[in-house]
A and B are shown apart, each in its own frame.
Chain A
Amino acid sequence: MVNIPESVLAEVFSENTLAWITEGLASGKMALFTETEDLVTYARRVVSLSRALPMRGVDLPEAVCLAAGARFGYTVLTENGGAAMAPSFIQELSGVRVMRAVDVLHALAQRGVISLREEIERYQAETGHRFAKRDLRRLGVE
């Protein structure tokens, strides 16, 4: 089950993404995650902490995801670098698992579902996304 915070959903306008989310919600593979006041308060603290550290800052929508990860044990899916590095810099988030696309592709490859090298090339070509060489080296692709 993938939970989508309302603050993240509010940023989505493109036809394809909306169609994908709608299908996910209708099939029960995704669910709408409504932020509670106390979670948003926690998330605001995460934003402040991130701004005071030598990391890329975390914005509120991603901070909500990190707060939910810390509170409910959810894995956070994001391409936001600040959110990805937050567990390495903010002690109270150190137990939160964050996965970027490159980590999801790696996990799929480890289960034999995809060929990592091929999918990384296809993903980059289709999305305009570039994976850092140090990420690819870490995963043994380069």
Chain B
Amino acid sequence: MEREFWLAFIEEAREIRRREANWGFINKLPPRLRHALVYYVETGDFRTAARLAGLGVEEFLEKAREAGIPLV
């Protein structure tokens, strides 16, 4: 696929994560996990986000799911 497709994909994916995230839930979480989830919403980079949260990748993605953030 073309680069233009992927650059637009990155933006659309970010918008979906922002829209579907349960911000009320996220904002009540402890700082480390909260910042990691915000980083994930903005970047889609779940591996770095998992490290920020101090969790394994699977465990982090489960937390993201609880926070309403979809994998896009």
Which A residues form the contact surface with B (CB < 8 A)? 11-14, 17, 54-57, 59, 61, 79-82, 84-85, 88-89, 127-135, 138
Contact = CB atoms under 8 A, between A and B. Distances in A.
Contacts of B2: 88
Contacts of A82: 45
20 contacts: A11-B57, A14-B62, A55-B3, A55-B10, A56-B43, A56-B44, A56-B45, A57-B45, A59-B48, A80-B46, A85-B9, A88-B1, A88-B2, A88-B5, A127-B71, A128-B65, A129-B71, A131-B72, A134-B9, A134-B12
B59 A13 contact: yes
Contacts of A133: 12
B52 interface: no
A54 B72 contact: no
Nearest to B61: A128
A79 B58 contact: no
Interface in B1-37: 1-3, 5-10, 12-13, 16, 20
Contact of B8 (A61, A89, A131, A134): A134
B9 A135 contact: yes
A89 B6 contact: yes
A14 B58 contact: yes
A121 B7 CA distance: 25
A13 B56 contact: yes
Contacts of A56: 6, 10, 43-45
